[in-house]
Structure 1
Amino acid sequence: MPGGRHALLVATGTYDNQALSRLRSPAGDALALAEVLEDPRIGDFEVDRVVDRPHHEVTRAVERFFLDRRRDDLLLLHLSCHGLKNDNGELHFATADTDRRLLASTSVPARFVQRQMSQCRARSIVLLLDCCYSGAFLTGGKGDTTVHVRDELAGHGRVVLTATNRTEYAWEGERVTELGPEPSRFTGALIEGLRSGEADRDRDGLIGVQELYDYVYEELRDSGVRQRPQMWAELEHRVVVARSVLPALPHGWDREAGPGAGSGAGPAAGEPAQAPRPRVPTPGRERSRLPPTALLPVTEALAALPCMEDARGRQQFATVLGEFLALRVDLRGVRQREDVVAIARAALNQEGGENALLSTVALLEGQRAAAEVGDSLRP
């Protein structure tokens, strides 16, 4: 992990203004997250915390955090607090002295954070927002539900993970304002994914931001909580948030299937589970030799699939396709067309890629969709 690794955790749970309810989780979340980020086996970050401080101290800490950084530094900023919107729908982060009637002068505007990020020299910045309405960080004008990545988050190597979309609450336990020691759902899932290593979805020993987001999204979805984490990114390279405490699997091995998988025979009672087996190409399959002109109809057919509509769906498709092909299919997750072309190329340039592509479509979208994509493969 080259370059400096720096994290700033801003947590505000106690407020002077009685109109803002106390939050039980931010301070504890910041402490627990700092532990895993500072752990040299996991995050290996230098971590600073700002807890329950007034707005001028928070803005000063944020500006200083992004100042005088090197291009190869990795910066991680975590904000846990009330998220408030003004009459124009603009997001503000509440601090200990925030007055809801005076947001412009007593809070931290989201646009202030955006400016510090855009002016920073570091190529890799990860922003984690655990607050209500956090998805509004990257939206356009009032009432706009479309994310404009280039308009609102200029530059490369920027990633934003939010606890909610632009209209949802961030939940603590079973109620938004219930007091107690439990961590927030979003940050709690982040911490657990890093601490346990379970966020290392491909078991290569490293946890990238896309893997971390996928883990958190699925944890919150499975818990039944009514919030949907969001992710926006514009990356030139993979951003590694942490190492995994789980042992890495050899490249090309299937983490789910073990020796004898598919035969109906499992390990005997009391025996430890055996290591997964590597994917082996089926004998006799030839490398795809479709002409370059085949890329266009395949791309058009794939782009029409519902799973290609958002970055998370495209990443899930790429992950499944990669399992069939025993390779990593990397996507930038910004433009749909760019991601779909990357998926099509990955499949058509590999041995047995056409079969793997159709199997992935059938698994995620059904046999009828697979047949339609199959038609595009025919000359």
Structure 2
Amino acid sequence: MSAGRFALLIATGHYENQALRQLRSPARDAEGLADVLRDPAIGGFEVSTVVDRRHHEVARAIEHFFLDRGRDDLLLLHVSSHGVKNDDGDLYFAATDTDRRLLASTAVSAEFLRTQMDRCRARSVVLLLDCCYSGAFLRGTKGDTDVHVKDELAGHGRVVLTATNRTEYAWEGERLDALDPEPSRFTGAVIKGLRSGEADRNGDGLISALDLYEYVYDELRAAQVRQRPQMWAQVERQVVVARSVTAARRPVIPPQTDGEPPRGAPDAPPPPAPRPRSLLDRMTELTEELSGLACMADNQGRAQFALVLAEHLGRAVDLRGVRLREDVAVMVRAALSTDGGERALLGVIRVFEGPAVADRVRHLLDRDGVVPPGERTATDRPPQGPRPRFDEVRAASPGPAENGDYRGATQLLLRLTDAVCRLPSLEDPQGRVLFASILGEQLGRPVDLRGVRLREDAVALVRAALNVPDGEQVLVDVIRVIDGEDMAADVERSIQPVP
């Protein structure tokens, strides 16, 4: 069964409850977005719209949309309405019959939407939320306050783009004439970027979810609107939203599969001729690749990655934590300007994302002769001699290329992270937080986890243990308590040097 591309656009601008202000833009948003998504030269989606419907109709449409989908289907859901919350801070999407006093029975909860996404077989879901969560309605705004969209809706295989952060307004434009409404700022920028092809930031003829986010972010900033779109992603492959109409040749949208793209497609562009690549070319290519990694999806994840990379490079890597691509470019630049930094970068990617992703990045480095095919990187080599403590080699080493012991410590970090990721107790965020609490008590220092991604949390646990004298044995002892002797023995074996 071939992969399909399906979109559902939910727009609610008219409300029976006077406590919910009427919105001018949602219907116009749905109409404009449907046009570009449905266009076979741009989105190629099969599009359905639900405009100004009651809550049970909206819920039914959502459940039906996620039902009976294939693993390789790409699903896009756009919601434009008021975002409201109950006294506990739970997020709801308002429908025409929503009563703010009776949200549980008259609105569509974020929890309901997440459940439908969890049950869906499709591995690629893009969620666009044109709602805001500010505390009061102002002229030209919509929304309610203090909702943790990431916690409620982000998940594996998903890309979530929101019109604002949780304390800002979602602006509807400037025109007050209800007979000629403008699109909202957020959706208007989405439509413009797709329709014009300007959202194709790297000129490859395809508009990924990341391309679209960066374009919308820059558009709203240029408009000087106090509104910062947010993006969270947890995907293992590029999610292509549309083709660019400005491309010289119409590219083939790759299927959302883990395998290789079909060979010999009639309209597939020929492979580019090899050419010498400048440092700027390498920076561009690496930045593009790393920007799609799950560990780069939010500020905290990038900060954790930069901290470990800095330890491997033997130099500071300072991020602003404002824009994804800017932060990634800083890390790539630091790696490329440090002797042996490419190998260090590859090693850190392997620690955070695993060998499959690291091998993909390795191919980019192979082209430059940095990591020749068949040669193992610094992090792949077995350590030589006694293993120093991680904090000791970090302090002593001026860089990864000059200290074999440091490479050995890096290899240990990788082996232990792989082993810890297999622990049953770390399968869910609550289990990882409990484990960190017990480990911190035994190490005599707090171990802070974000509880978002398993591998990221595992890196934090292992680093905390390796930076304390005999901490690796404490780690094994805690595993023995929580996961049993067999799992403890498995992790203990990973501490031993590779022969």
What TM-score does the superposition give when structure 1 sets the normalisation length? 0.69
2:318 corresponds in structure 1 to 305
1:19 corresponds in structure 2 to 19
Check if 1:280 corresponds to 2:276.
yes
How far is the alpha carbon of 1:167 from its aligned partner? Answer: 1.8
2:3 corresponds in structure 1 to 3
Is the Cα–Cα contact under 8 Å of residues 10 and 50 in structure 2 kept in the other structure? yes
2:65 corresponds in structure 1 to 65
1:115 corresponds in structure 2 to 115
1:338-357 matches, cutoff 5 A: 338=353, 351=368
Is the Cα–Cα contact under 8 Å of residues 25 and 183 in structure 2 kept in the other structure? yes
Is the Cα–Cα contact under 8 Å of residues 128 and 162 in structure 1 kept in the other structure? yes
Report the CA distance shift for 1:170/1:96 in structure 2 as closer, same or farther (over 3 A).
Answer: same
Is the Cα–Cα contact under 8 Å of residues 146 and 167 in structure 2 kept in the other structure? no
Report the CA distance shift for 1:77/1:303 in structure 2 as closer, same or farther (over 3 A).
Answer: farther
Q: Percent same amino acid among aligned pairs?
A: 58
For the residue of structure 2 that corresponds to 1:100, the secondary structure is: coil
Report the CA distance shift for 1:42/1:348 in structure 2 as closer, same or farther (over 3 A).
Answer: closer
Is the Cα–Cα contact under 8 Å of residues 173 and 182 in structure 2 kept in the other structure? yes
Alignment partners' CA distance in 1, 2:350 and 2:131: 27
For the residue of structure 1 that corresponds to 2:245, the secondary structure is: coil
Amino acid at match of 2:154: L
Alignment partners' CA distance in 1, 2:80 and 2:40: 24
2:188 corresponds in structure 1 to 188
For the residue of structure 2 that corresponds to 1:306, the secondary structure is: coil
Amino acid at match of 1:376: G
For the residue of structure 2 that corresponds to 1:8, the secondary structure is: strand
Alignment partners' CA distance in 1, 2:36 and 2:333: 29
How far is the alpha carbon of 1:236 from its aligned partner? Answer: 1.3
1:187-229 deviation digits (Å, cap 9, x = unpaired): 0000000000011111111111010111001111111111111
2:91 corresponds in structure 1 to 91
1:239-262 deviation digits (Å, cap 9, x = unpaired): 1101110124899xxxxxxxxxxx
Alignment partners' CA distance in 2, 1:52 and 1:352: 58
Report the CA distance shift for 1:236/1:96 in structure 2 as closer, same or farther (over 3 A).
Answer: same
1:291-327 deviation digits (Å, cap 9, x = unpaired): xxxx966645578421468745444558989999xxx
Is the Cα–Cα contact under 8 Å of residues 85 and 92 in structure 2 kept in the other structure? yes
Report the CA distance shift for 1:377/1:108 in structure 2 as closer, same or farther (over 3 A).
Answer: same
Is the Cα–Cα contact under 8 Å of residues 297 and 376 in structure 1 kept in the other structure? no
1:288 corresponds in structure 2 to none
Is the Cα–Cα contact under 8 Å of residues 153 and 160 in structure 2 kept in the other structure? no
Report the CA distance shift for 1:305/1:250 in structure 2 as closer, same or farther (over 3 A).
Answer: farther
Correspondence for 2:399 among 371, 376, 379: 376
Alignment partners' CA distance in 2, 1:297 and 1:22: 51
Amino acid at match of 2:319: P
Amino acid at match of 2:318: L
Is the Cα–Cα contact under 8 Å of residues 309 and 317 in structure 2 kept in the other structure? no
For the residue of structure 1 that corresponds to 2:214, the secondary structure is: helix
How far is the alpha carbon of 1:166 from its aligned partner? Answer: 1.4
Check if 1:240 corresponds to 2:233.
no
1:1-379 matches, cutoff 5 A: 3-133=3-133, 147-148=150-151, 153-154=154-155, 156-174=156-174, 179=178, 180-248=180-248, 280-281=276-277, 299=312, 304-307=317-320, 311-317=324-330, 337-338=352-353, 351=368, 376=399, 379=402
Structure 1: gaps of 5 or more residues:
135-141, 252-277, 284-294, 325-330, 355-374
Residue correspondences, number: 303
How far is the alpha carbon of 1:347 from its aligned partner? Answer: 8.1
For the residue of structure 2 that corresponds to 1:101, the secondary structure is: coil
Report the CA distance shift for 1:9/1:38 in structure 2 as closer, same or farther (over 3 A).
Answer: same
Alignment partners' CA distance in 2, 1:66 and 1:50: 15
How far is the alpha carbon of 1:280 from its aligned partner? Answer: 3.2
Structure 2: gaps of 5 or more residues:
135-144, 252-273, 280-307, 338-345, 372-397, 403-499
Report the CA distance shift for 1:91/1:312 in structure 2 as closer, same or farther (over 3 A).
Answer: farther
Alignment partners' CA distance in 2, 1:58 and 1:48: 12
Amino acid at match of 1:351: D
Amino acid at match of 2:132: C
How far is the alpha carbon of 1:124 from its aligned partner? Answer: 0.7
Alignment partners' CA distance in 2, 1:12 and 1:125: 22
Amino acid at match of 1:306: L
How far is the alpha carbon of 1:46 from its aligned partner? Answer: 0.5
Alignment partners' CA distance in 1, 2:147 and 2:101: 24
How far is the alpha carbon of 1:21 from its aligned partner? Answer: 0.7
Root mean square deviation, CA, Å: 4.1
Report the CA distance shift for 1:248/1:63 in structure 2 as closer, same or farther (over 3 A).
Answer: same
For the residue of structure 1 that corresponds to 2:222, the secondary structure is: helix
Alignment partners' CA distance in 1, 2:205 and 2:46: 21
How far is the alpha carbon of 1:129 from its aligned partner? Answer: 0.2
How far is the alpha carbon of 1:376 from its aligned partner? Answer: 3.3
Which of the pair is proportionally richer in helix?
Answer: 2
Greater relative contact order, per chain length (Cα 8 Å cut-off, separation 6+): 1
Is the Cα–Cα contact under 8 Å of residues 189 and 219 in structure 2 kept in the other structure? yes
Mean CA deviation greater in 241-250 or 223-232: 241-250
Report the CA distance shift for 1:242/1:320 in structure 2 as closer, same or farther (over 3 A).
Answer: farther
What TM-score does the superposition give when structure 2 sets the normalisation length? 0.53
Mean CA deviation greater in 342-351 or 44-53: 342-351
Amino acid at match of 1:281: R
Amino acid at match of 1:184: S
Amino acid at match of 2:399: S
Report the CA distance shift for 1:74/1:54 in structure 2 as closer, same or farther (over 3 A).
Answer: same
